[in-house]
Structure 1
Amino acid sequence: MPRRGPGGGGPMAGMGMPAEKSLNFGPSAKRLLGRMRSERMGLAVVVTLGIISVLLTVLGPRILGWATNIIFEGILGRQLPAGITQQQAIDGLRAQGNDSFANLLSGMTVIPGAGVDFTRLGQVLLLALGLYLLSSVFGWLQGRLLNTIVQRTIYRLREEVEHKLHRLPLSYLDRHQRGEVLSRVTNDIDNISQTLQQTLSQSLVSLLTVVGVLTMMLLTSPLLALVALVAVPLSLVVTTMIAKRSQPRFVAQWRATGELNGQIEETFTGHSLVKVFGQQPAVERRFVDKNDELFRASFGAQFVSGIIMPSMMFIGNLTYVAIAVVGGLRVSTGSMSLGDVQAFIQYSRMFTQPLTQLASMANVLQSGVASAERVFELLDAEEQSPDPEPAQTVRDPHGRVEFDHVSFSYTRDKPLITDLSLVASPGQTVAIVGPTGAGKTTLVNLIMRFYELDGGRILLDGVDTAQMTREDLRSRIGMVLQDTWLFGGTIRDNIAYGRPDATEAEIHRAAEVSYVDRFVQALPDGYDTLIDDEGSNVSAGEKQLITIARAFLAQPSLLILDEATSSVDTRTEVLVQQAMAALRAERTSFVIAHRLSTIRDADLILVMEDGSIVEQGTHDELLAAGGAYAALYQSQFAGATTD
């Protein structure tokens, strides 16, 4: 449908879009996570499974520390003479002046003369293996359940967005590029899904690991735990500083993605127009500029946020060195066993790794929240006014349409239709003519309630259309547009779109009266011929005939034809006019036409200029009056007469 409101235009329209506001990270992230409230029980199970898995994992290094002690104590015990106690061996070493070795032995349990106890070692290793296997099983169950919860959440989000699109007024789609809206409901939602999948599971495991490992470190050595904890505030400071710089870049990245999608969509929609006017170089330049903007935004976001991981690894390595030095000194003094130091070194790695993961997920989370805010902006957009409750309906449909002092404007400061009144009686054919921008299409859009009136009312069979549900109102109206829209499927499916319960005979009858049957019979698959959503495998005239057949099949009480025969050849136009004349006998018809030859037999012709009806009457009456209609008629046929 041709749109006259803000944002309408050709394929090259809407290239410049307003910049989005800065990302409000905290509230947007909270709102995104709040959408999972209905999964509270499942999330509780996920947390429980995560706790069990992490608990088993953090016990592993302690068990392996026991194995290290068994091996080390066995090696040292073999070096001592058999038949003496550990204390006797320590006293003998001190008497020899070997205090370092004596201090080392004092922190262990050694049997002089005995070697490695391989039976005990095997039992400890089997215990560690069992713990890690159980941890993996619980971790797998936790990940599977969390993935199910995330997918259900995204499913509900997609469903909500789909329903929201149906509640948005046509003016919203007028103000936004279709490609940009599509980017919000596809790319951005996909990015949210990936973000939740990547961050929730890892974040939960990382947080639980930090708590569990910190507990084990404190139990193992409070001094070494204090050394490890120095890395926490340092990591937070580094992550926060980097995140602040990457956050606006992610907003710019997804805004540029939406704008680029909008440009690509409109360029391919108007591909023929681009070629006709030789605008390929200009389109390519705009694409290169917008693609370059997206590249810079994406590169900046990924580069800045990518600094987080190496920064955290550097801090983790410093912590590792500090723990190794302090732990080695404590082993040498007998304050700790070698197995405890080894376990602590493993804990330090386990401690810094989740911190690094949390930091590296910051860029993913920021990207996802940036997309979430774009989706929330769509969900928060002002909706069309709700249908009245209780709604009125037409009890005895005849197709009488009355405009009662109607006023309308797309923008408040530019009135388009002011104080318009007219009556279309049942069975009448009302033709609307006038120059471009006079308000012809707007008039029928108001009948369909695609836009709400600023003043006055429109009555259908005496019932105010504003008091009817939109579904009830539109079910009584058949509309054939200047822009022919077909859907992916068979020709039969496209004809039956207006009445899915129509019988095969009714579909064929509608096709016959609209002369679709004439060309369908020549197709190899007939009515089962598949056409794509652009209808590129049928001609423009054939597409228009299919849309006319669709309207005929719906059997509406009110028929609206917006340049419905503009793409039909002259011979077919005569046949279609004859068919429509028979079909209009029992219904009111509004016909918007530029070719005045198509509306000579109309019962009433309305001539519009600047949103007002300046003349009305029959074809002969208006010609005789010598006014605006006569001027239009003469301008249309003067060229042919001169030739």
Structure 2
Amino acid sequence: MCEQWHIFTRLMSYTGAYKKQFGGALVAAALLAGMNVALPQILQYFMDHFLTNKSATVNILLGFGALYALGTLLKAFFQFFQTFLFAMGSERGLEDVRRELFAKLHTLGMRYFDQTPAGSIVSRVTNDTMTLADFWNVILSVIVGLFSVVSSFVIMFNMNGKISLLVLAFLPVLLIVIWYYSQYSSKVYRHMREKLSELNTKLNESIEGIGIIQQFRQEARISREFEATNNDYLDTRKAMIRTNSLLLSPIINLLYALALVAVLYAFGLQSQITFVEAGVVYAFTTYVANFFNPMTNMMDSLSSLQDGIVAGSRIFHILDDTEYAPAQNPGASKTITTGKIEFKHVSFAYDGVHEILHDISFVANPGETVALVGHTGSGKSSIINVMMRFYEFGTGEILIDDVDIREYSMTDLRQKLGLVLQDSFMFYGDISSNIRLFNENITDEQIHAAAKFVQADRFIDKLPKTYHARVLEGGAQFSSGERQLISFARTVVTDPKILVLDEATANIDTETESVIQEGLRRIRQGRTTIAIAHRLSTIKDANLILVLDAGKIIERGTHEELLAKQGRYYDMYRLQNGDAVTD
């Protein structure tokens, strides 16, 4: 219960920025409660003073009719502003939560995304945040309900104190039901949210892997797995429906019926002793309805309230996550000038326990190319990951221009380090925006020059809209080689001081690779380059080649030096060239 209260208060803190909207809604709710009290009073007065003694004239009928109609219009007016203002405040609060959550995701380190399925993250940013709008509307429902309950009871007590206490006697039973519901439903809703995340994860995985699924004829298996997950989610929904069906409206309606019977019975007993006016009975029973009806709405809203608490818990789990991206030192303001890179006895573990890199040391002088080669899992990409500050390394030092890498601002690192990955991701938009990456400081002339530099202009100029040709999600309409050329242009246009190539030519066909090799040589001129390569023929001209195995450097030297050693590099090169070792 303490945890739920903490989540509740934290969610409510997001409404502080919109006090005017929520305050206006509360004023309208109070006025609405006043109208709900006044309307039965109008009819009571009419019944007891004019209807029972048959003294109502046409003018009196029209007058009371107009008065009641005016009250009803005012009630509708207050109800509109109450709903509108609260909804606007809720939507803006929801927008703030979603914006904060999205911003938080971009501060988390790569390790978080390695451990968390993408579908689960999407579910929290979309489904869970959307639930908060219903959550805040529940708060409105509760406040309006409290206004109605309190005002109705006060009027009933003024009309007949003893009989009003009969109605109040049902309140403890209602509170017990609310307490039990909150305890039980929290488990149901938490389980339901978890199953919804699993459903989104399975859906996301199926969409992203649709090509492989169809290629290997896995449709039936994927459908069965999705059906199983969907059925699990359906079971949690059924449990929620059973809980709500039993503990919400039926309980309130039962208590209302019992209270109404008790009130009418009490008035019946009183009528045997003294005269009871019909208007009083009518008004009192109306107030009994006004006392219990908001409780019905509040109980119905408890499901959304509990759902919102669970959703809030899942959202705050991300907002409170401390798996941040590696941080630079306070006041880091150094600027990369020459691009010298040095690793000094660097070790690294993704999980903080099992080391992937062991005592890595090497130097890449300005303008030199250092190539990393080795079998899958040897640690090549891990070296790139710690140098790009995607992960925090363990022991040792990484220096750029003889300065600790943590002394540079993250902005300077991202500007001066250009990374080209094996799989080039294209954003929805056009080619120009994918090269510019929404950096408005980059001109169209620079984009064209970068594309020409890597010879991407050869295929771009043939497109109907050239640089404004539409790019679908992931760049599906382009070949892997064309996507990679765009990625090269994206990197070149920022003019980085250090170039990082993570198997950048692995997905490019031989013809395309021959086209861009000259471009790569030009790109590397005046830049320090760290290149991971499987095709050893592409790094023959590297100033230094590091051969890695199990996170350790087992050989180092130039292409000719390593061949002369006839070690691991020699075997790899001979294997790729059909046992024929040539210079």
- Structure 2-normalised TM-score? 0.95
CA offsets per residue over residues 305-358 of structure 1, 9 Å max, x none?
232112211221222222223224434543431101100111111111011111
Partners in 2 of 1:359 and 1:40 — Cα distance? 26
**Which has the higher mean CA deviation after the structures are superposed, 221-230 or 491-500?**
491-500
Report the CA distance between 1:31 and its aligned residue.
1.6
Structure 2 equivalent of residue 550 of structure 1? 490
Structure 2 equivalent of residue 205 of structure 1? 144
Does residue 229 (structure 1) correspond to residue 168 (structure 2)? The answer is: yes
CA offsets per residue over residues 371-423 of structure 1, 9 Å max, x none?
1110000000002354433113126x111101122111112331111221110
Partners in 2 of 1:385 and 1:634 — Cα distance? 40
Structure 1 equivalent of residue 30 of structure 2? 51
2:184 to 245, 248, 257: 245
Does residue 467 (structure 1) correspond to residue 446 (structure 2)? The answer is: no
% identity of equivalent residues? 32
CA offsets per residue over residues 74-125 of structure 1, 9 Å max, x none?
24xxxxxxxxxxxxxxxxxxxxxxxxxxxxxxxxxxxxxxx43443444333
> Are the aligned partners of 1:428 and 1:587 in contact in 2 as well (CA < 8 Å)?
yes
Structure 2 equivalent of residue 16 of structure 1? none
1:409 to 345, 349, 355: 349
For 2:34, give the aligned amino acid.
Answer: L
Partners in 1 of 2:576 and 2:114 — Cα distance? 31
Report the CA distance between 1:126 and its aligned residue.
2.8
CA offsets per residue over residues 212-238 of structure 1, 9 Å max, x none?
111111111112212211221222223
Structure 2 equivalent of residue 185 of structure 1? 125
Partners in 1 of 2:326 and 2:496 — Cα distance? 25
**Which has the higher mean CA deviation after the structures are superposed, 61-70 or 208-217?**
61-70
Partners in 2 of 1:593 and 1:52 — Cα distance? 73
Does residue 262 (structure 1) correspond to residue 262 (structure 2)? The answer is: no
> Are the aligned partners of 1:247 and 1:301 in contact in 2 as well (CA < 8 Å)?
no
> Are the aligned partners of 1:499 and 1:554 in contact in 2 as well (CA < 8 Å)?
no
Structure 1 equivalent of residue 4 of structure 2? 25
Structure 2 equivalent of residue 107 of structure 1? none
Structure 2 equivalent of residue 582 of structure 1? 522
CA offsets per residue over residues 129-169 of structure 1, 9 Å max, x none?
32232232223222222222212211211121122111111
Match runs of 1:242-641 below 5 Å: 242-307=181-246, 308-331=248-271, 333-382=273-322, 383-394=324-335, 397-497=337-437, 499-638=439-578
CA offsets per residue over residues 31-58 of structure 1, 9 Å max, x none?
2112223334543333223212211221
Partners in 2 of 1:319 and 1:537 — Cα distance? 69
Partners in 1 of 2:327 and 2:164 — Cα distance? 61
Partners in 1 of 2:416 and 2:494 — Cα distance? 9
Match of 2:276, SS? coil
Shift in CA distance, 403/160, structure 1 to aligned 2, threshold 3 Å: same
Structure 2 unmatched runs, 5+: none
Partners in 2 of 1:639 and 1:213 — Cα distance? 94
CA offsets per residue over residues 546-583 of structure 1, 9 Å max, x none?
11111111110000111111221112101211111012
Partners in 2 of 1:178 and 1:133 — Cα distance? 50
Structure 1 equivalent of residue 41 of structure 2? 62
Match of 1:554, SS? coil
**Which has the higher mean CA deviation after the structures are superposed, 334-343 or 166-175?**
334-343
Shift in CA distance, 565/386, structure 1 to aligned 2, threshold 3 Å: closer
For 2:225, give the aligned amino acid.
Answer: R
Partners in 1 of 2:294 and 2:392 — Cα distance? 55
Match of 1:459, SS? strand
Report the CA distance between 1:518 and its aligned residue.
0.9
CA offsets per residue over residues 415-452 of structure 1, 9 Å max, x none?
11122111001111111100111110110111110011
Shift in CA distance, 275/312, structure 1 to aligned 2, threshold 3 Å: same
Structure 1 unmatched runs, 5+: 1-21, 76-114
CA offsets per residue over residues 497-551 of structure 1, 9 Å max, x none?
1753222222111111222211112211211111112111111111111111111
Match of 2:53, SS? helix
Shift in CA distance, 120/274, structure 1 to aligned 2, threshold 3 Å: same
Partners in 2 of 1:488 and 1:137 — Cα distance? 45
> Are the aligned partners of 2:327 and 2:406 in contact in 1 as well (CA < 8 Å)?
no
2:64 to 124, 129, 132: 124
Partners in 2 of 1:443 and 1:153 — Cα distance? 42
For 2:8, give the aligned amino acid.
Answer: A
2:157 to 196, 210, 218: 218
CA offsets per residue over residues 260-304 of structure 1, 9 Å max, x none?
111211222122222333333332222111111111111111221
Shift in CA distance, 575/586, structure 1 to aligned 2, threshold 3 Å: same
Partners in 2 of 1:485 and 1:640 — Cα distance? 37
Match of 1:402, SS? strand
**Which has the higher mean CA deviation after the structures are superposed, 324-333 or 341-350?**
324-333
**Which has the higher mean CA deviation after the structures are superposed, 420-429 or 302-311?**
302-311
Partners in 1 of 2:517 and 2:325 — Cα distance? 36
Structure 2 equivalent of residue 81 of structure 1? none
Partners in 1 of 2:103 and 2:420 — Cα distance? 25
Structure 2 equivalent of residue 89 of structure 1? none
Match runs of 1:79-94 below 5 Å: none
Structure ID, larger Rg:
1
Partners in 1 of 2:354 and 2:79 — Cα distance? 63
> Are the aligned partners of 1:69 and 1:339 in contact in 2 as well (CA < 8 Å)?
yes
> Are the aligned partners of 2:33 and 2:148 in contact in 1 as well (CA < 8 Å)?
yes
> Are the aligned partners of 1:243 and 1:305 in contact in 2 as well (CA < 8 Å)?
no
Structure 2 equivalent of residue 39 of structure 1? 18
CA offsets per residue over residues 449-473 of structure 1, 9 Å max, x none?
0011111121111221112221211
> Are the aligned partners of 2:373 and 2:533 in contact in 1 as well (CA < 8 Å)?
yes
Match of 2:370, SS? strand
Number of matched pairs: 579
> Are the aligned partners of 1:23 and 1:251 in contact in 2 as well (CA < 8 Å)?
no
Report the CA distance between 1:23 and its aligned residue.
10
Partners in 2 of 1:297 and 1:45 — Cα distance? 38
**Which has the higher mean CA deviation after the structures are superposed, 574-583 or 36-45?**
36-45
Match of 2:423, SS? coil
CA offsets per residue over residues 600-643 of structure 1, 9 Å max, x none?
121211111111111111111111101111121223233899xx
Partners in 1 of 2:577 and 2:36 — Cα distance? 88
Partners in 1 of 2:232 and 2:527 — Cα distance? 54
Match of 1:278, SS? coil
Partners in 1 of 2:63 and 2:382 — Cα distance? 84
For 1:490, give the aligned amino acid.
Answer: D
Report the CA distance between 1:190 and its aligned residue.
0.8
Match of 2:250, SS? helix
**What is the root-mean-square deviation in Å for CA atoms of aligned residues?**
2.0
- Structure 1-normalised TM-score? 0.86
> Are the aligned partners of 1:306 and 1:360 in contact in 2 as well (CA < 8 Å)?
no
